[in-house]
C-alpha cells in the first residue's frame, strides 16, 4: 500500500496536481503553493512549499517575499523603501529566474502589487486593510489598534504601543552627536508618560519607563 501511495504522488506531480496536496507538501513551481507561500528548492531535498519571507530576509525572486515586499539585491525589501532604479533591476532579475524555472505566475503577480503601493503612498485616509504587528507601514494610521509605525533598522514596521512599566524613549530630544536612531519604540499608551526611573544607581536613573500621569 505504501508503494501505491508513492505512485499516486508521482502521478499527481506529473499531471500538475500538486496544488491539491496539503500545505508544506512537495511542489514544482510557486503556483503549486497556497497564498503567502513559495516553492523552496533545497539542494539535498525535494522542493516543498515554504512560508514567505519578511523584510531583510534573503531571497532569489519576488515570489519568495511576503506581500508588500520586493526582492531587491537578493534581500526582501519593503516596497515603499525600494527606489525606482532598484525595482527595475529586480524585474530584470525576476525575468531571468522566470526563464530558468518557467514560473510565469511570478511575473504576472508583480503588477498587482504596484497599485497597492501607490494607493498607500497617496492615500490620506485610513487604509481599508490595517497592518498587523511586524508588517511594513508608512504611517501610524496604516497599523491596527494598539500599534504604531516605528523605524526598525532601515524600514518601518507596526509595533505595539508601550504599556505601564515598559522601557521608553523620549522623542524630540536627540543628542546631535548621537547616531541616527534605527530602532524606534512606540510612545507610551493613553494616560502614561515617559519619565526617568527614580533609582539610587546612576545607571538605572537614566532609564525611562512608561508611568501613570
**102 Cβ contact partners less than 8 Å away, ≥ 6 residues apart:** 29
- Average pLDDT over the chain, rounded to an integer: 72
Over residues 82-131, the pLDDT tens digits come to 655 454 444 455 555 545 444 444 444 455 555 444 444 444 444 468 88
pLDDT given at position 163: 92
CATH number for the region 23-121 comes to 2.10.80
> DSSP E strands: which ranges in 126-165?
147-152, 155-160
So what's the pLDDT on residue 188? Answer: 92
CA-nearest of 116, 146, 136 to 128 is 116
CA dihedral sign, ordered 88, 93, 95, 98: negative
The pLDDT of residue 158: 95
- State pLDDT tens for residues 191-204: 999 888 766 666 55
What is the CATH class of 140-171+181-212? mainly beta
**Domain 23-121 shares a fold with domain 140-171+181-212:** yes
Domains of the chain by residue range: 23-121, 140-171+181-212
Average pLDDT on 41-64 reads 90
Contact between residue 189 and residue 161 where contact means Cβ atoms under 8 Å apart: yes
- Please write the tens of the pLDDT for every residue from 8-36: 444 444 444 434 444 457 899 888 898 88
- Contacts of 171 by beta carbon, 8 Å cutoff, 6+ apart: 187
Helix (H, G, I), strand (E, B) or coil at 54: coil
Q: What is the DSSP letter of 138?
A: S
| pLDDT band with cut points at 50, 70 and 90 for residue 148 | very high
pLDDT in tens, 149-198: 998 888 999 999 999 988 888 765 554 444 566 788 899 999 999 888 76
Q: What is the pLDDT of residues 38-49, one digit of tens each?
A: 999 888 888 999
Cβ atoms within 10 A of the Cβ of 35, count? 6
25 burial type by CB count under 10 A (0-12 exposed, 13-18 middle, 19+ buried): middle
The terminus-to-terminus CA distance of the chain in angstroms comes to 70
Amino acid at each position: 500500500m505504501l508503494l501505491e501511495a508513492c505512485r499516486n504522488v508521482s502521478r499527481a506531480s506529473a499531471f500538475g496536481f500538486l496544488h491539491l496536496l496539503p500545505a508544506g507538501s512537495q511542489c514544482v513551481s510557486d503556483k503549486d503553493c497556497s497564498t503567502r507561500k513559495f516553492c523552496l528548492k533545497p539542494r539535498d531535498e525535494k522542493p516543498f512549499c515554504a512560508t514567505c519571507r519578511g523584510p531583510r530576509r534573503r531571497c532569489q525572486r519576488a515570489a519568495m517575499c511576503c506581500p508588500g515586499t520586493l526582492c531587491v539585491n537578493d534581500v526582501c525589501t519593503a516596497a515603499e523603501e525600494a527606489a525606482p532604479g532598484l525595482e527595475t533591476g529586480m524585474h530584470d532579475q525576476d525575468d531571468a529566474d522566470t526563464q530558468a524555472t518557467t514560473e510565469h505566475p511570478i511575473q504576472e503577480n508583480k503588477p498587482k502589487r504596484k497599485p497597492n503601493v501607490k494607493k498607500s503612498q497617496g492615500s490620506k485616509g485610513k487604509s481599508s486593510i490595517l497592518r498587523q504587528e511586524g508588517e511594513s507601514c508608512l504611517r501610524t494610521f496604516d497599523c491596527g489598534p494598539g500599534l504604531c509605525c516605528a523605524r526598525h533598522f532601515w524600514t518601518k514596521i507596526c509595533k505595539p504601543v508601550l504599556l505601564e512599566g515598559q522601557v521608553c524613549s523620549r522623542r524630540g530630544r536627540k543628542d546631535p552627536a548621537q547616531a541616527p536612531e534605527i530602532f524606534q519604540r512606540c510612545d507610551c499608551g493613553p494616560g502614561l508618560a515617559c519619565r526617568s526611573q527614580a533609582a539610587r544607581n546612576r545607571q538605572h536613573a537614566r532609564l525611562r519607563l512608561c508611568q501613570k500621569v
